Amino acid sequence: MDNLKYKIVRTLRCKNTNIPGTLGKLTTVIGRARADIGNVVTVYLGQHYTVRDIDVFIESEEHLASLVEEVSKLKEISILQVRDDVLGLHKNGKIKMMNTVAINSLDDLSRVYTPGVAEVCRLIMEEPSSKDIYTSIPHSVAIVTDGTAILGLGNIGPVAGMPVMEGKAALLQQLAGISGIPLLLNTTDPDEIVATVEHVASTFGGIQLEDIASPRCFVIEERLEKELSIPVMHDDQHGTAVVTLAALINACKLSHVILEEAKIGLIGLGAAGLSIGRFLHQFTGNPALGTAKTEASIRRHTEHGGIPSSFEDIMQTADIVIATSGVRGLIQPRMVRKGQIIFALSNPYPEITPESAKASGAALAADGRTINNLLGYPGIWRGVLDSKAVRINFEMYLAAAMAIARATPEGELAPNPLDPKLHLAVAHSIAKAAIESGLAQRQLDDDYFESTDIRNPRLA
């Protein structure tokens, strides 16, 4: 089924008697209940019965209840457990603080803590720049959210958004060796958010704003960029714009479209859509068409050089359609024009599935799972922190986009987001652009750019 990846997965642990045909009966019932089967794992194989874990793809909890009811009618089979492995994976959270040095003796304790630590404190007091050598500050990024724009869920609050922040932090550590530390702010007031971040900023090497709704996110980022001496990035804006440009470069290459000559339409002008429009305008020199739910969003798009349009006009005339509306199924297959490039980027459910778009005539189509910020932000932060850049400018973001495009395998829109070489390439490109832009406070030597370990770069 073409939209299988947008369904819910549950695991049924089933015990069935060892009678020929029993497993076939079970799979038939699952199929009749309109569910799809994923992995099937044999947990126990005995003389009289077998226990299996069967992953099923369902549309809702109501659909699951109906499926369980139908399976329970089979006298040869009993359901021992219905499990949500996603919840199981998140149990106790996905991150924790870890020591970088072992403390196994009193001698270790005297060096790591008292009295030895006093010597390091005095050194940093006398030479503040020593913090970059003797603390974790330059390798830490705050992931700040007020929980008002979490994925496609909207304003669910900062605590409910914590699993997303933990995921970002876990990936920063695994892919770039950076400590991402979630900060959940129980306020939506821009003044309070800015003041809070200012008060804690000395703990970090950079600030990543995450899932803060527009228009507050624009004001918050602009003020923090002016008032802090460390770099600030709103990932929903700039991270999305970077990976979208990278994928568009590859899409145009594959479909023989000249990006600078293509008509681009934006459906949705929130944090992501507006930033994509500004970024593409800077890159191509051509303004994009744009439409949104509110007049205020359209006005901001116009103020940044965009062209106000309508949903219908974009679908009928644009060569490239980029949707960040957050509305599942907004683009109907009949609206797709033959040869269009369609990026439906709303997560977790796109405006149209890539399969449906391509079946309706799109030359290329992708969703937010392929064109995902994970392609950008780990390497961006590694390069920013390595070069000690005071801020991140357009040239640095552009360098990241080009690095992602170059790292993409032939015939694909985007590279594997878990490939360490991708993030290393982005880091090196960002660091080089920071140096060339005059924003770097550390001049990196050839050893850095020849390094192959993104988690432990060789710094000058």
- Phi first, then psi: what are they for 216, rounded to 5°? -60, -35
The reported pLDDT for the residue numbered 128 is 95
Distance CA 333, CA 262 (A): 22
Per-residue pLDDT tens over the stretch 265-280: 999 999 999 999 999 9
C-beta separation of 211 from 272 below 8 A? no
C-beta separation of 80 from 68 below 8 A? no
What is the rounded average pLDDT of the residues 420-435? 97
User: What is the layout of strands, in order, in the sheet containing 206-209?
Assistant: 179-184, 140-145, 206-209, 232-234
Look up 168 and say whether it is catalytic. Answer: yes
The reported pLDDT for the residue numbered 5 is 65
- Phi first, then psi: what are they for 132, rounded to 5°? -70, -15
Distance set, CA 402 to CA 188, 243, 425, 427 (Å): 35, 9, 10, 12
Per-residue pLDDT tens over the stretch 18-47: 999 999 999 999 999 999 999 999 999 999
Answer yes or no: is pLDDT of 2 > 70. Answer: no
Q: Out of 6, 25, 113, 226, which one is annotated catalytic?
A: 113
The reported pLDDT for the residue numbered 3 is 56
Residue 369 identity: R
Instruction: Flag whether the pTM goes above 0.95.
Output: no
The reported pLDDT for the residue numbered 151 is 84
What is the rounded average pLDDT of the residues 1-13? 76
Distance set, CA 4 to CA 7, 57, 68 (Å): 6, 7, 19
Domains of the chain: 4-90 (3.30.70.260), 136-230 (3.40.50.10380), 238-373 (3.40.50.720), 376-450 (no CATH)
The reported pLDDT for the residue numbered 6 is 72
For a pLDDT cut of 70, what percent of the chain falls above it? 99
What is the SS3 assignment for the chain? CCCHHHCEEEEEEEEEECCCCHHHHHHHHHHHCCCEEEEEEEEEECCCEEEEEEEEEECCHHHHHHHHHHHCCCCCEEEEEEECHHHHHHCCCCCCCCCCCCCCCHHHHHHHCCCCHHHHHHHHHHCHHHHHHHCCHHHEEEEEECCCCECCCECCCCCCCHHHHHHHHHHHHHHHCCEEEEEECCCCCHHHHHHHHHHHHHHCCEEEECCCCCCHHHHHHHHHHHHCCCCEEEHHHHHHHHHHHHHHHHHHHHHCCCHHHCCEEEECCCHHHHHHHHHHHHHHCCCCEEECCCHHHHHHHHHCCCEECCHHHHHHHCCEEEECCCCCCCCCHHHCCCCCEEEECCCCCCCCCHHHHHHCCCCEEEECCCCCHHHCHHHHHHHHHHHCCCCCCHHHHHHHHHHHHHCCCCCCCCCCCCCHHHHHHHHHHHHHHHHHHCCCCCCCCHHHHHCCCCCCCCCC
Q: Which of 58, 64, 106, 76 is nearest to 14 (CA)?
A: 76
Q: Out of 168, 377, 432, 448, which one is annotated catalytic?
A: 168
Which value, to the nearest 10 degrees, does the dihedral of the CA atoms of residues 405, 411, 412, 416 take?
-80
What is the rounded average pLDDT of the residues 336-344? 97
Distance CA 457, CA 403 (A): 18
Look up 113 and say whether it is catalytic. Answer: yes
Per-residue pLDDT tens over the stretch 397-418: 999 999 999 999 999 999 999 9
- Phi first, then psi: what are they for 454, rounded to 5°? -65, -25
Distance CA 77, CA 17 (A): 7
Answer yes or no: is pLDDT of 459 > 90. Answer: no
Per-residue pLDDT tens over the stretch 135-145: 999 999 999 99
Distance CA 213, CA 227 (A): 21
Rg (CA), the chain: 25
Distance CA 226, CA 282 (A): 22
Per-residue pLDDT tens over the stretch 143-157: 999 999 998 789 999
Per-residue pLDDT tens over the stretch 199-242: 999 999 999 999 999 999 999 999 999 999 999 999 999 999 99
Per-residue pLDDT tens over the stretch 64-103: 999 999 999 999 999 999 999 888 889 999 999 999 999 9
Answer yes or no: is pLDDT of 1 > 60. Answer: no
Distance CA 209, CA 186 (A): 14
- 4 confidence band (pLDDT: 50, 70, 90): low
From first CA to last CA, the distance across the chain in angstroms is: 52
For a pLDDT cut of 90, what percent of the chain falls above it? 93
Q: Residue 356 burial (CB < 10 Å; 0-12/13-18/19+)?
A: buried
**Residues 6 or more apart in contact with residue 242 via CB below 8 angstroms:** 279, 375, 376, 380, 397, 400, 401, 404
Distance CA 68, CA 456 (A): 50
